[in-house]
Structure formats: structure tokens, C-alpha cells
Amino acid sequence: MAITTLLLDADGVTQRNRGFREAREALLQGKVTRDELFAIEARYLAGGEGFRDELAALFAERGVSTTADELLDAWSGSAVEEGVFELLDDVRAAGVRVYLATNQNPVRGQRMIDTLGYEDHTDGAFYSFQIGFAKPDQGFFTTIVGRLDAEPAECLFIDDSEPHVVAARAAGLQAEHMILDRGTGYLRSLIAAHGVAV
């Protein structure tokens, strides 16, 4: 079945935050681990209030002098990879719709919406915190396909997480695993392999 819709994860596919690892370690001063930080985030990927407050409470408990907002500023410092917007424009010129389909907590997701400019190069976006489901939950994929009024097999989903790719395939989508270090040219090749003229 021909691809009519391209769904792209953001982090690890179209963008990355090159300095966050070092910034996180410096800001958290060894008092909060990466796993603890991401465990808190996981509770908010499908939406909800209180993410910033929960971070602030943990920092206070551990004696971290960094504020939640300082950490969130560093966490939100992603940049779109070189050549990605040109690729998205080419996909749309080939007659294929393009959407982001990304897990994001409410704070980081809103900052992406406000600052990165995807809306000029896509047909829309599906952020987990807005749709109420986070990958790899099947509800993430079925909600998106339902809103697009598309057949799952017409949709190509690309993500840097293999479990997310497996979940998309289980929902009937075509899906590919992206390795960001291979560059935007590799992303283009994954899309072209599904018959999209890019």
C-alpha cells in the first residue's frame, strides 16, 4: 500500500539536544540520577499538571541548588538537525502528509511548539501530552490514525526507539528504526525505501 502519511518522532530522528547530558550532570550535582529524572517525566508524558512542581520538590529534598526551571531550560535546548526541514518539504512536495508523532512532557513539548518552527514544514503534530497516550501504548498509534482518517498501512512511522517501532508495527503501521548518528541522508533513505520520491 502506498504511503500517504509520514509520522516522525522528534528526539533522535529530527532533532537532538547535544549539550543536555553535560548540562544535566552539572545542574544536578550528582544528587539526582538520570533515571530518577526520566521516571518523573514518564508520569507526565501522557499529560497532566505538576511536572515542574514534582521536580522542584525532589530538588529541595536532595539539596540541589538548581531550580526546576533552570533544568527545564537546559532540557528544552534541542535543535533541529541540519537538512531536516528541507527533507520534510520534499516529502510534502511528493504528495505525502508529514506529522510529528513524539513523546513529550508538557513543558518541553510546549517549548518545542513555541520555538522550533516545525509548523512551517509539517501538516501538524501529535504530542503525547496533548493526545493523552505515550508510546509505546497502542492508544498513541490508534488515536493518531483515527484523527488522520487513514488506514494504518498507509502510514510510515520512524522512531529511534526499537520498542516504539515494534509497537507501531503491531498497530498496523509501516515503521522503521532511525539511527540519528547516520544523519539526515539516512532518514531520507528510509523514507525513499517506502516509495516516496525524495
> What CATH architecture applies to the domain 5-16+79-192?
3-Layer(aba) Sandwich (3.40)
pLDDT digits (tens, 9 = 90+) for 107-145: 999 999 999 999 999 999 999 999 999 999 999 999 999
Looking at residue 75, its amino acid is: W
Cell 532540557 sits on residue: 75
Burial 71-109 (b: 16+ CB within 10 A, else e): bbebbbbbebbeebbebbebbbebebbbbbbbbbbbbbb
Check: pTM over 0.85? Answer yes or no.
Answer: yes
pLDDT at 1: 84
Q: Where do the CATH 3.40.50.1000 domains begin and end in the chain? A: 5-16+79-192
Partners of 126 in beta bridges: 101
Strands 124-127 and 5-8, sheet pairing: unpaired
Kindly report, residue by residue over 57-114, the tens digit of the pLDDT: 999 999 999 999 999 999 999 999 999 999 999 999 999 999 999 999 999 999 999 9
Q: How far apart are CA 127 and CA 119, in angstroms?
A: 13
Model confidence pLDDT, tens digit, residues 134-186: 999 999 999 999 999 999 999 999 999 999 999 999 999 999 999 988 999 99
DSSP assignment of the chain, as one string?
A: ----EEEE-SBTTTEE-TTHHHHHHHHHTTSS-HHHHHHHHHTTTT--S-HHHHHHHHHHHHT--S-HHHHHHHHT--EEPTTHHHHHHHHHHTT-EEEEEE---HHHHHHHHHHS-GGGTSSEEEEHHHHT--TTSHHHHHHHHHHHT--GGGEEEEES-HHHHHHHHHTT-EEEE--GGG-HHHHHHHHHTTT---
pLDDT above 90: residue 38: yes
Are the C-beta atoms of 146 and 123 separated by less than 8 Å? no
Instruction: Produce one character per residue of 17-54: b if its CB has 16 or more CB atoms within 10 Å, e if not.
Output: beebeebbeebbeeebeeeebeebbeebbbbeeebbee
pLDDT for 180: 82
